[in-house]
Amino acid sequence: MTATASLAGMDTAAGNITAPDPADLISFDSLLSAEELALRDTVRAFVRSEIKPNIARWYEEATFPLEIVPELARLGLLGMHLSGYGCAGRSAVEYGLAGAELEAGDSGLRTFVSVQGSLAMSAIHKHGSEAQKQEWLPQLAAGEAIGCFGLTEPTAGSDPGSMTTFARRDGDGPTADWILTGAKRWIGLANVAKVAVIWAQTGDHGDPRGVRGFLVPTATPGYTATPIQPKLSMRASIQCEIDLDEVRLPHDAVLPNVTGLKGPFSCLNEARYGIIWGAMGAARDAFEDALAYSKERLQFGRPLAGYQLTQAKLVDMALEINKGFLLALHLGRLKDAGRLAHHQISVGKLNNCREAIEICREARTILGGNGITLDYSPLRHANNLESVRTYEGTDEVHTLILGQQLTGEAAFR
């Protein structure tokens, strides 16, 4: 069964599960097709039944639940925006809608799908040889293998061009082995991955100078991944240090179709796009928790929802959620039309992360002391969003991209 067909099956099984979103003040659903709504509802049903009942425990235990990977694959969510090689071939809007629902569960869940699909699989799909695609993409789409994407280094974060991981040739000629040496940091899933896409400087033995991508089977001697712990954010998610100690790779381990930072950046753009939706999913979930609580919690003899100060908070949150989803949908439609400009991704990523984190923090205030427990989602989401606003370009980096767009002046260095 294809991934697309399995999604259609789930649609029927899920039935009409979706009540109108309490945050939806503008009939957002009227902007979506029946197919888009069906996909959204399928993923929402999965998150409600499989993720929400367990997420507090996974977060507390700092565990990513690998047991859900087969179900994510069965739903066609791994590399869902890619075509061929067992991928579902879904639209950018559908990818975004799924991301929002996953992140309403937890940012760690959307991050898993993003690292696997937007980063590792996209790198192979965009820049790999036909043999590399045939070898890796079907097993990554089926969840039989996990992939990771190693760009960031201990001393190269916002400025990946300063990376020092180096791939040298062991000898002359195009069939000489590659030897990778260096270190990566913050690499999602690196200790459970079967294949790591590692970006490294090259340029000896007559090879062109520049950053190139390498497919590193993680069983290769010299590859070591160590989880970064303890974390105060993204606890139900894995990030690692990678040590690359003279990792020997065959000549055809390199991604042949790109040299330079445009290689990793083309994948980061896919992931950044998903965040535009995902952040609003987390915000919506925090809002829903706060709204429900405000209706039940009595203080001074009345529900919190009956006080004007509480209503002002809820209204401000809902306005930003509605605007954030509208922005995400507009950018998604542009992406599907092939007209999404680089700086427009920064508009969405910067705005929606910034608003989402404020919404989650404000939602926490409505919950009072109970809001600092894992019984409620807002503070968990807010803590996760600290990572989301940092990875795939920090707030500052996206501000600089937009500053350059507005003024024509680059202020990065």
Is 261 in contact with 211 (CB distance < 8 Å)? yes
> Can you give the binding site for ligand FAD, defined by CB under 6 A?
115, 149-152, 157-158, 186-188, 234, 239, 387, 390-391, 394, 396-397, 412
Nearer to ligand FAD, 33 or 412 (CB): 412
CA 413 to chain centre: 27
CA-derived radius of gyration, the chain: 22
Considering the complex, what minimum distance in angstroms separates the CB of residue 388 from ligand FAD?
8
10 Å Cβ neighbour count for 327? 19
User: Of 42 and 387, which CB lies nearer to ligand FAD in the complex structure?
Assistant: 387
Q: How far apart are CB 359 and ligand FAD at their closest, in Å?
A: 20
SS3 of residue 91 by DSSP: coil
- Residue 62 C-beta: closest distance to ligand FAD, Å: 12
Would you call 94 a catalytic residue per the annotation? no
Backbone angles phi, psi at 52, to 5 degrees: -55, -40
Token readout for 245 is 């100690």
Q: Which three-class secondary structure state does DSSP give residue 182?
A: strand
Q: How many CA atoms lie within 13 A of 251 on its CB side?
A: 9
- Residue from 101, 320, 392, 396 carrying the catalytic annotation: 392
Residue 378 Cβ vs ligand FAD, minimum distance, rounded to whole Å: 19
Cβ distance to ligand FAD smaller for residue 64 or 149: 149
**SS3 for 164?**
coil
DSSP assignment string, 30-98: GGS-HHHHHHHHHHHHHIIIIITTTHHHHHHHT---GGGHHHHHHTT-TTTTS-STT-----HHHHHHH
> Toward ligand FAD, which CB reaches closer, 158 or 311?
158
Compare residues 7 and 234 and give the one whose CB is closer to ligand FAD. 234
The phi, psi pair for 273, rounded to 5°, reads -60, -45
> Which ranges of 226-375 does DSSP label H, i.e. alpha helix?
262-296, 308-336, 342-366
Q: Summarize the chain as % helix, strand, coil (round to 5).
A: 55, 15, 30
CA separation for the pair 358, 378 (Å, rounded): 10
Instruction: Supply the minimum distance, in Å, between the C-beta of residue 197 and ligand FAD.
Output: 9
Residue closer to ligand FAD, measured from CB, 108 or 310: 108
- Minimum Å distance from CB 16 to ligand FAD? 36
Tokens of 161: 């061009």
Give the catalytic positions in this structure: 392
